[in-house]
Structure 1
C-alpha cells in the first residue's frame, strides 16, 4: 500500500522502517506508536531525501529530545568551523540540528549537512531568503518565499520552522499590546516587517496549502514557529503569544488533514511558575501536537549563563509535558556560539531533558541507579564511564588528587561514603 508521509502511513496502519526504528529505540509498542503518529501526538521527522538519517520520535511517551542550533552569519561565515560543530553535536548524541544560516553559501552548507548528518535537520527558510536572492527584504515576493521553502524540502530538510501564525490579525494584536521587547523572533520580525512594508498578508499563512503540498511530497514536518514568543519575563503569556498559539492550533488541524506532521514551537522567556501552564495551553489549543520549546529562560539577568537559565526552564517544561528542547548556549544574546559554547549548551540541555524524563517516567532511572552504585563503591572509573560528560569528570578528578585515593579533595578521609561503608561492614573508621 502506498503512502505519502509518516503520518499517512500510520493512518493506514503501515509501520514504516523509520517508525519501527523509533519503536525499538523507545521501547514502545508499535501499535501504540502507530496510533499516536496517526493522531499527530508523535512526529517522526524524516525527509525522503535525507538518506543518512537515524530517525527519532518526538512527542507523547517519547524521551525528551534536544536540538542544536548552528549555521553561518555575515559576521561569522566559516563553513568548515560550523561543520566541525555539527560533527561534535552528532558525537554528543544531539537528536536534531537546526541550520540557522543567514548569509553566504547557505545551500552548500545545508546540502553538506544533510549528507553527513544522522540527526534530524531543521531550517528556517525565511532566514535564507535574503541571502538566497541577494535582495532587500521589501523586494522579495511571496512567490520567492515559497520557492525557498521548496528548495529546502528538496535538499532533504526534515523539519522546517515556518512563522505562519503571525498573520495580519496577530500582527494587529501585537501592535496594540505595548510589549516591552516587541518581537524577538528573527523570522517573526522579518515577516512582520515584510507585511508592514508590502501591505500584504504573510505568504506562509495566506498560501499555507502550498506549503502542505510541498511537505506531503517530501515528507517534511512543519515546525510552526512562535513569532510572538516572549523575549523577556515582562512579555510572557501575553495577548500576542496566545493569539498566535490559537492560530497555530487552527493550522495544525489543516496540516493533519493532509497527513503532514506538525510540531509547535514555544515560549522563550517566562517566570518559572508560568511554564507548566504554558505547556498545558499548547497541548490543549494545539490538540496534543508535540511541543518544542526554546528554554524557557526563567530570568533575564544572566548573559553568559543562559545555558543555565534555559536548562532550569527546560527541565520544568519537559516534566510538564514538553517534548523537544532547543538548546541555549552561554553565548545567547551575546555572539555566535563557539565550539566550546556549543558543548556547554548541549550538556545543559541533555541534563534538563534527562531530568524531565525521570519526572514524567519516560526514563526508568537505571542510569542514575548505576551511578549511585558506583558512588557507593567509590568506583571512580565506573563513575567516569557513566558521567554525561566523562571528559570533564576525568579532568576535574585529575586536577586535584586526594591523599586517600578512594575519596576526593572535598572531604578526604571524612568522606561520608567511605566512612559509612566501613561502619556498615563492621570496620573501624580512621579519619586522622
Structure 2
C-alpha cells in the first residue's frame, strides 16, 4: 500500500490518478511515473477529495491555471464565492485556491471541495486568526498545526505554507531596504508572529511535523514565497534568493518523505529578469514544478493587471514555469467580481497556451491550426466555436453586422481570406 502519489511512483505503482493524467496529457504512463517519482511532476490529490478529476502539474505537461477566490470581512458573501467557483470550473481553470480569511471558512471550504472536480488549494495562515479566535501573538505552535491538519482533513489538495522564511531570511528583509517590504499576506502574518514572539518560523523549525500531515493525507506542499517581490524594484533581491535557496533544501527533505512539492515564485518583475528567475528556481529547487503569480511586468497599471500579469506569465511559462496563478483587473484595488474573474481567467489561459506553443507541448498547435483553417474558409461559426471565449466572440460578431455574411465589418468585400480563396480557385473577383 502506498501513502502518496510520489510514494506509489517510486515503488513502480501506476495509480488511477496517473492513468487519468497520462490520458489527458498524451504522455506515456511510464514517463509520467518517472517524473512523479523524481518530483518534477505533482498530482495534487488529497485522498479525502472524492469529487476530484486529477490534474498533473510540471515538466512536459500543459501549463495549468489557478483561480483565487474566498470570503473576506468586507465582502462576506459565500453564495457569490461559490458562484465564482462554478464559473471558474466552466471557464476551464485547473485549480481554485480558497483564500477565505473571515467567518465560517470551514463550511465554505467543505462545500467547495465537495462540488469541485478541480484541485483545491488553501493558505492555512489566512484561517488561523479567525478559526482560533485569538490575537496573532497568542497563537501557539500546536494551534498553527491544528489549522493545517483541519484543512488536510477537509480534503485540500495543496497548501501554501511559508516554510522557508526563517530567521536568517527575515534578517535579509530587515537589512535590505525594499520599496514594498513583504507583500505576501500569509508571509507578513508569519513574519509578524516571529517578531512578536521572538521565535523561529514554526513551519521551518518543525517542518517534519508538517510533512507528517501532508504524507498522511497526500497533500502537496506549495512552498510559499513570503519574500516574493511586490514591485519590480524589489525583484531578484537578497531576501528573495535566500528564501529560494531554503526552498530547495526543504524540497529535498519533503521528497525523502514522499511528499509532493511545488515552489511558488514572483510577484512583480521586469521582463528582462523573468527567464533567469525561472532557470534559478529549476536549478535551486531540483526541477520541482514552479507556480508563479504573474509575474506582473510593470507596476503602473491598476485596473489592467490581468494584462501585465499575462505578459509575464507567458514569458515565465515559456521559460519553465508550470502553473500560473491568475490576476484580475481588480488586483491591488478590491475583491474581484464575476466579470473581473472571467477577464483574469481568459487572460491567464491565453498566456498558458502561448507558453505551451513555445514549449512544444504535444497537441497545443492543433487548436491554433484549426482556428487558422476556419479563418481561411471565412467560417465565422467555426471561429466562434474554437475561440477561447466563444461568448465574447459571438457577441462582437453580432454587434456589428457586415453587408455580406462571409466577411466582417473591418474589411468587408476587401476581405483577404475570402478574396485569396476566390482567386486561387480561379473565380471572378469584385470588391466594388
Normalising by the smaller structure, the TM-score range is over 0.9
Note the alpha carbon deviations across 1:116-139, whole angstroms, 9 max, x for none. 000000000000001101112111
Q: In the alignment, which residue of structure 1 is the partner of 2:219?
A: 220
2:134 and 2:412 map into 1 onto residues whose CA distance is 65
Q: In the alignment, which residue of structure 1 is the partner of 2:327?
A: 328
Alpha-carbon distance, 1:144 to partner: 0.8
Alpha-carbon distance, 1:338 to partner: 0.1
Provide the secondary structure at the position in 2 that maps to 1:34. helix
Q: How many residues align?
A: 431
Please list, as runs of the form range in 1=range in 2, the aligned pairs for 1:30-429 lying within 5 A after superposition.
Answer: 30-364=29-363, 365-429=365-429
Consecutive unaligned residues in structure 2, runs of 5 or more? none
Note the alpha carbon deviations across 1:301-360, whole angstroms, 9 max, x for none. 100000000000000011001000000000000000001100110000100000000000
Alpha-carbon distance, 1:429 to partner: 2.1
Q: Is the 8 A contact 2:47 2:217 kept in 1?
A: yes
Consecutive unaligned residues in structure 1, runs of 5 or more? none
2:103 and 2:261 map into 1 onto residues whose CA distance is 29
Moved more, 360-369 or 2-11: 360-369
TM-score normalized with structure 2 length: 0.99
1:77 and 1:26 map into 2 onto residues whose CA distance is 38
Q: Is the 8 A contact 1:354 1:363 kept in 2?
A: no
Q: Is the 8 A contact 2:66 2:323 kept in 1?
A: yes
Q: Aligned-pair RMSD on alpha carbons?
A: 0.6
Provide the secondary structure at the position in 2 that maps to 1:160. strand
Provide the secondary structure at the position in 1 that maps to 2:349. helix
Q: Is the 8 A contact 2:310 2:350 kept in 1?
A: yes
Alpha-carbon distance, 1:64 to partner: 0.3
2:111 and 2:264 map into 1 onto residues whose CA distance is 26
Note the alpha carbon deviations across 1:355-390, whole angstroms, 9 max, x for none. 000000114311100000000001111001100100
Q: In the alignment, which residue of structure 2 is the partner of 1:430?
A: 430
Alpha-carbon distance, 1:298 to partner: 0.4
1:87 and 1:64 map into 2 onto residues whose CA distance is 21
Alpha-carbon distance, 1:208 to partner: 0.6
Provide the secondary structure at the position in 2 that maps to 1:69. strand
1:420 and 1:272 map into 2 onto residues whose CA distance is 39
TM-score normalized with structure 1 length: 0.99
Note the alpha carbon deviations across 1:145-197, whole angstroms, 9 max, x for none. 11100000000000000001111000001110101110000011001111110
Moved over 3 A (4+): none
